Structure 1
């Protein structure tokens, strides 16, 4: 992952801290899916 992408994610996480729980849950779901897909492609 390049530095810009990491920085974007960091900004996103700062915004997420103020997000309602259901939004946080959805994001966790998406992250898990992404992780699984990444693992499969290895």
Structure 2
């Protein structure tokens, strides 16, 4: 029983962490392209 609870928590934490990393990466790429090229260049 305890193992299942721990597994569930790990799963939630992993999901949260992945989501956070994805958002960070997205933000960083937008930020980087804005700094380099200005706002009107499409993202590669």
Q: TM-score, normalised by structure 2?
A: 0.51
Alignment RMSD: 1.4
Higher relative contact order (CA 8 A, sep 6+): 2
1:28 lines up with 2:10 in the alignment: yes
| Residue ranges of structure 2 left out of the alignment (5+ in a row) | 25-44
Point out the structure with max Rg over C-alpha.
Answer: 2
Runs (4 or more) in structure 1 with deviation over 6 Å come to none
- The number of aligned residues is 24
